[in-house]
Amino acid sequence: MTATALVRISRRSSGSAQPSLGRSWKVVVDGNIVGTITRGQLLDIRVEPGPHTIHVQSMRLLRSPSVSFDASAVQVVGLECHARSEGVLFQGRLFWLLASLCKHDIWIFLDPDESVEPFENSETATRVDSLRPSSFLPAAARINTPPRDGPEGEPALVVDRLTKRFGARTAFSDVSFEVAHGEVFGFLGPNGAGKTTTVRTLGTLIVPTSGSACVAGIPLTPENEGEIRQRISIMPEAPGLYLRLSVTENLEYFAALYGLHPAGTRIKDALDAVNLADRADDLCGGLSKGLRQRVGLARTLMSDPAIMFLDEPTSGLDPVAAREVHDLIIGLRQKGVTIFLTTHRLDEAEKLCDRVAILNTTLRTVGRPAELRAQLFQGALLLKTVKPLSDAEQLFSQIADVESWRSDEPGSYVLSVSDPNATAPEVVRALVGAGADVLSVGEAQHSLEDIYLQLVNEDVEVRSS
Amino acid sequence: MMGLDTPRVRAVVRKELRDYRRKRSIVATMIILPLVFLIEPVVTIFLAPSAEAGSSLNTYVVIPLLYLLLLPVIIPSTLAAYTVVGEREQGTLEPLLTTPIRQQEFIVGKAAAVMIPSALLSYVVIGIFLIAVELFARARISSAIFHQGPILLALFLFTPLLAGWAIVVGMAISVRASEVRVAQQLGMLASLPIIGVVFLLAVGVIHPTFPAALLFALGILMLDTVALRIVSRMFNRERLVTGVKAAGT
């Protein structure tokens, strides 16, 4: 057994002396993200003896405080803080009290007395041990949910049996899913499926009829609406800019509403992130639709949100503008921003999202596109020969794994199999043995569109029957 | 009511004033309307016969002054009616509602942004009128006007209070209206009670005295405060976004 150092990282629960600091901070140990902390939360990590570097990063738009230390000696090697984002490192348990009296926004504690089991194999750097509540934290901020979907800690978004009805009309019903930190989550569905209403509900604009949700670690209740709105940002389908104000003036307004002071750097960073710095003084009314959408994205980025809700961000854009928005979202994903993306563009979801949910008033499915393909469609091999097979039925019936086959055109065959990769060599051998000239053999790929249409058409069939 | 976040309120005011300044129709309306309103009192005062005396003279003097009381009601009504439904029509309301701004901050910020130019313009027009009277009106008329202490006090005190009333009524209509045009037309209703009071003063049912002016000012202030709270409660995010009020809210 080797003693490991316990490092505790926390943000003040209230009364921040640094209101310009972001709402959600990524904790990086030796270059690996180990979790996120939001105001009032505590993150414990354990590291093996040796030199380590901790970065506590706001959402990439800002530089961040960092600290290097040697866990074997439990001694601070150095501390570097950005001028606007003070961080401080305390050593030992006695400093809990001292820390609580200070006005620093980020606390990093080293506890040399804490000895724990060593981590198994190579997980050390990326493992989050727990999010343990501390006695000085408010109860609402204590989160004990185990990490899910990767090393990021508790889910960014938890939705449990959420339902919204407007009188007799049901907008969405019994919707449950989780979104992990740093995930791009696609929310798909036909028009009127309830996507936008779901986003508005999670964004505290609409009160759910039943069910519960936890948004950015905060329970979705009327009392918490303000706090939730502070931690998330939503870009509606239309960016909703003040057309007689300049880009900067629009952003200044929203920066003030989010309490971001001073706003200048934030605005500059946000505009840089969406490549709009050179249009900062242009009136929004003079911008193209694509550029307005970028301003909308800059606005959502500016507040350093724990979750970004993007409601059909490419709706109505031409392909070039849509591509630009896609590139921005891909850039944000690479930086670990949690994005909830509603769209009915399946190519967009396939390209951008880690996981997708398909909603048609009720949630039809949730998963990675590849998983959904496997769930919904049987494996298939697509093979092509130079000439049509003389007796395809006899040939394919000899192969045990081929459950059925069909030919859509001469020389082209689709074979239903349980495991395409395992069956392919056997099929090739059989074809060669039969003297067929094989052009190609490959696994038939089902697109997200196939999945979507399969599920939505099922709904249509159920309704019509 | 929870405490207001002053920087947020200030941000709303600053943004609104910027927006007004750049919308020519608003600037034009705010300049032309008071000038039109200035015509009637000026014509009445300057055409008043010099030989009139007693109660006849008062009629020539009091009615134009009371007429000026309509200014702070008329000027803000168009802007106030635009405050919420206008944001909704231009698609800016939803992004705004997703921010941490509280409904009281939004309402107070919007109201203040309408109040500032409205009250200022009303005072400027009243000032221009009084200066013109002092400089160009017949001495007897001029003297009579500056001896209407209670009415002059009422003009001074009532201007922001009546503007406040018009703003609150206009915003209440704006919260519920589906279109800017409808809201603006209904917003003119805010002036009806004021016209009624002016009429009662003109026909002598209410006598303009200092205590009456102070009492009325206090009454309007209380009315404005209560109305502002009611409008804050009417401001329901779900209704504004979907057109349907949230159950149980």
pLDDT tens digits for range A433-447: 888 888 888 877 766
Using a CB–CB cutoff of 8 Å, tell me whether B8 touches chain A. yes
Tokens of A76: 């601070």
d(CA B70, CA A281): 40
- Taking a contact as any Cβ pair under 8 Å apart, which residues of chain B between 11 and 40 contact chain A? 11, 14-15, 18-19, 22-23
Using a CB–CB cutoff of 8 Å, tell me whether A280 touches chain B. no
Name the one residue in this structure whose structure tokens are 């221009």: B128
Residue with more model confidence, A20 or B111: B111
Omega before residue A65 within 30° of 0, cis: no
Residue with more model confidence, A179 or A121: A179
Which residues in chain A are contacts of B18 at CB distance < 8 A? 244-245, 249
- Chain A, nearest residue to B12 by Cα: A253
Report the b/e string of B196-229 with b at 16+ CB within 10 A: ebbeebeeeeeebeeeebeebbeebeeebeebbe
Tens digits of per-residue pLDDT, A187-233? Answer: 988 888 899 999 999 999 999 999 999 998 899 999 899 899 999 99
- Chain B, nearest residue to A303 by Cα: B99
**Inter-chain contact A259–B22, Cβ cutoff 8 Å?**
no
Predicted confidence at residue A299, as pLDDT, reads 93
Query: Nearest by CB to A236, which of B14, B19, B94?
Result: B94
Order of strands across the sheet that contains A412-417: A402-409, A412-417, A380-385, A438-443
Least confident of A85-94, A382-391, B124-133: A85-94
Tens digits of per-residue pLDDT, A118-130? Answer: 333 322 222 222 2
Instruction: Check residue A40 and give left, alpha or beta (phi > 0: left; psi -120 to 50: alpha).
Output: left
Using a CB–CB cutoff of 8 Å, tell me whether B237 touches chain A. yes
A26 beta partners? A36, A57
Give how far the C-alpha of residue B232 lies from the chain's centroid of Cα atoms, to the nearest Å: 18
Using a CB–CB cutoff of 8 Å, tell me whether B245 touches chain A. no
Which residues in chain B are contacts of A292 at CB distance < 8 A? none
Long-range contacts of B195-204 (CB under 8 A, 24+ apart): B195/B70, B198/B66, B198/B67, B198/B69, B198/B70, B201/B62, B201/B66, B202/B62, B202/B63, B202/B66
d(CA A387, CA B113): 79
Using a CB–CB cutoff of 8 Å, tell me whether B6 touches chain A. no
Tens digits of per-residue pLDDT, B222-239? Answer: 988 998 888 888 888 888
Question: Are A126 and A151 contacting, i.e. CB atoms less than 8 angstroms apart?
Answer: yes
Tens digits of per-residue pLDDT, A9-39? Answer: 655 444 333 333 345 566 777 767 677 666 5
d(CA A9, CA A45): 8
Query: Nearest by CB to B18, which of A207, A209, A249?
Result: A249
Using a CB–CB cutoff of 8 Å, tell me whether A167 touches chain B. yes
d(CA A330, CA A353): 9
- What's the mean pLDDT in A177-192? 89
| Cβ atoms within 10 Å, residue A451 | 24
| Cβ atoms within 10 Å, residue A191 | 7
For residue A141, the 8-state DSSP code is G
**Domain regions of chain B by residue span:** 6-240
The torsion angle over the Cα atoms of residues B125, B131, B137 and B138, rounded to 10 degrees, is 140
Tell me the pLDDT band of A459, cut-offs 50, 70 and 90: low
- Amino acid letter for position A314: T
**Domain regions of chain A by residue span:** 5-141, 157-373, 378-445
Residues with Cβ within 8 Å of A256's Cβ and at least 6 positions away in sequence, in order, are A263, B7, B8, B10, B11
| Domain made up of A157-373: CATH architecture | 3-Layer(aba) Sandwich (3.40)
**Inter-chain contact A261–B7, Cβ cutoff 8 Å?**
yes
Which residues in chain A are contacts of B102 at CB distance < 8 A? 226
Tell me the pLDDT band of A349, cut-offs 50, 70 and 90: confident
Predicted confidence at residue A6, as pLDDT, reads 60
Q: How far lies A156's CA from each of A182, A213, B98, B154, B208, in Å?
A: 8, 11, 18, 58, 65
Using a CB–CB cutoff of 8 Å, tell me whether A243 touches chain B. yes
Q: Which one, of B74, B64, B100, B83, lies nearest residue B198 by Cα?
A: B64
Residue A210, classified by CB atoms within 10 Å of its CB into exposed (0-12), middle (13-18) or buried (19+), is exposed
- Chain A, nearest residue to B238 by Cα: A206
**Distance between A440 CA and the closest CA of chain B, angstroms:** 52
Question: Are A343 and A187 contacting, i.e. CB atoms less than 8 angstroms apart?
Answer: yes
Tens digits of per-residue pLDDT, A276-296? Answer: 899 999 999 999 888 898 899
Which residues in chain B are contacts of A256 at CB distance < 8 A? 7-8, 10-11
A339 beta partners? A184, A308
d(CA A213, CA A161): 8
Using a CB–CB cutoff of 8 Å, tell me whether B89 touches chain A. no
Which residues in chain B are contacts of A238 at CB distance < 8 A? 91
Predicted confidence at residue A465, as pLDDT, reads 61
Tokens of B204: 């002598």
Using a CB–CB cutoff of 8 Å, tell me whether A204 touches chain B. yes
Tokens of A349: 């979801």
**Inter-chain contact B97–A205, Cβ cutoff 8 Å?**
yes
- What's the mean pLDDT in A39-56? 67
**Distance between A245 CA and the closest CA of chain B, angstroms:** 7
Tokens of A14: 């209230």
| Most confidently predicted of A83-92, A331-340, B180-189 | A331-340
Predicted confidence at residue B27, as pLDDT, reads 82
Q: Give the CATH number of domain A378-445; options: 3.30.70.100, 3.90.1640.30, 3.40.710.10, 2.40.50.140.
A: 3.30.70.100
**Inter-chain contact A166–B5, Cβ cutoff 8 Å?**
no
**Inter-chain contact B7–A243, Cβ cutoff 8 Å?**
no
Using a CB–CB cutoff of 8 Å, tell me whether A420 touches chain B. no
Query: Nearest by CB to A205, which of B7, B241, B247?
Result: B241
Q: In CATH terms, are A157-373 and A378-445 the same topology?
A: no
**Inter-chain contact B95–A239, Cβ cutoff 8 Å?**
yes
Q: Which one, of A464, A127, A61, lies nearest residue A267 by Cα?
A: A61
